[in-house]
Amino acid sequence: MQRGRGKAEKRSRQGRQWRSVCKGLVLGTLLTSCMILLYCLSTPQTHFSLPEVPVPYSCAHRPSQLRSKQTTNRSEQASGQTCTPKVDIMFMKTHKTASSTFLNILFRFGEKHRLKFAFPDSRNDFFYPSVFQRSQVKDYRPGMCFNIICNHLRFNAPEVAKLLPMDTSYITILRDPAELFESSFHYFGKLHFEESLILLKDALCWEMDDVLFFKLNARKGSTVSKLTPELRAKALEWNAIDWKLYQHLNQTFWKKVDAYGRQRMAEDVAELRRRNAEMASICIEGGRAVEAGSIQETAMQPWQPIGEKSIMGYNLKKNVDKAHRKLCRKMLMPELQYLTELGVNLWITKLWGHVRDIINW
């Protein structure tokens, strides 16, 4: 009797499960079709030509804001040099190169100086991999002043030049191309990310506060796979042009470090690390990144690649003092949430995310 009832229950439970799986499949298929349709419709098919109104030389709206370069008590800087923080920036986002971390720095800098971002409309990239057109910029009108463009795009120099002012600084992050084939977990060390930030801060006349960061979008460590020397050689052969470019920029990078001063660089990197560690102890629960499943707030959940849950994130500490609360939240905020906060409507990206959730991809 008991066993009979158990079997019936089991059967009806299985039936329910089947029905919900079927429902999920039908709904998933329907939504995916809708998505594909909308995606196609939202891709601009024609690029009507826009009138060419020249952009001003600079879009810095407070040119009087000179800043003494005395951010540290260094004697060589205390000689009364002044500079204006550079605010016009084109950042070319690349894969697996700490771009998300750098984007967070740019978002914060943009908010601090009330800069105008050239954002995409309804999604988080400029129709990558199709070639960038300025008509893809949200609310674009010819002659408008934009300060920063940093979302993923396929570079198109003439179009970018017609969007951003003449004094724009063009920035990107490069990695050893062979290492792009390996895991991206340890990439911060290989990139000399901190040294690069110090050079950037110096070149753009920014402050140390501007370049503080937490590693965003780091992957779980388990996927590390080292290339054999033979495979590495093959990878470099396949990517010969990237390899040449990387070697060239590696050389100019170290020349710049020498010009900056090795000792001075070492001190500044140590200072940056000290400040980052200080911020981590103020902001981060447990002081380190955790796996997606252990992140309590959805606002702090990073976007995951399809079929994986490998991207780590953070829990914001509960009782951060008032002075740091806002900064902590911003420094920890994943890219999509920050874009939304900056006013980008991401309905295509989000709908895609919901579809993936429903079909449990």
Ligand X SMILES: *[C@@H]1O[C@H](CO)[C@@H](O)[C@H](O)[C@H]1NC(C)=O
> Is-contact 88 168, C-beta < 8 A?
yes
As measured in angstroms, the least distance from the Cβ of 73 to ligand X is 4
Helix (H, G, I), strand (E, B) or coil at 219: strand
Based on CB atoms, which residue is closest to ligand X, 251 or 296? 251
Q: H-type helices in the chain, by residue range?
A: 2-42, 99-112, 157-161, 187-191, 193-204, 229-238, 240-260, 262-283, 322-332, 335-341, 347-358
- Determine if 73 is a binding residue for ligand X (CB under 6 A): yes
**Contact flags string 193-232 toward ligand X, x per CB under 6 A:** ----------------------------------------
Measured from the CB atom, is 74 or 162 closer to ligand X? Answer: 74
Residue 176 found at the interface with ligand X (CB under 6 A): yes
In angstroms, what is the minimal distance from the CB of 41 to ligand X? Answer: 45
The string of DSSP letters for 120-160 reads BSSSSBSSTTSBP-GGGBTT--TT----EE-SB-B--HHHH
Distance of alpha carbon 6 from alpha carbon 13, whole angstroms: 10
Looking at the Cβ atoms of 73 and 225, the one nearer to ligand X is: 73
Which of residues 121 and 271 has its CB atom nearest to ligand X in the complex? 271
CB of 100 to ligand X, least distance (A): 24
Stretch touching ligand X by CB under 6 A, among 190-198, 231-239, 247-255, 317-325: 247-255
Q: Does 75 help bind ligand X (rule: CB under 6 A)? A: no
Give 72 or 81: the residue with its C-beta nearer to ligand X.
72
243: Cβ–Cβ under 8 A, 6 or more apart, which residues? 177, 178, 236
Q: Shortest Cβ distance from residue 169 to ligand X (Å)?
A: 23
- Count Cβ atoms below 10 Å from residue 213 Cβ, excluding itself: 21
3-class secondary structure, 50: coil
| Stretch of 31-39, 125-133, 249-257, 307-315 contacting ligand X, by CB under 6 A | 249-257
Cis peptide leading into residue 85 (ω within 30°): no
Q: Does residue 250 interact with ligand X by CB under 6 A? A: yes
- Residues of the shown chain interacting with ligand X in the complex, contacts defined by CB under 6 A: 72-73, 176, 247, 250-251, 254
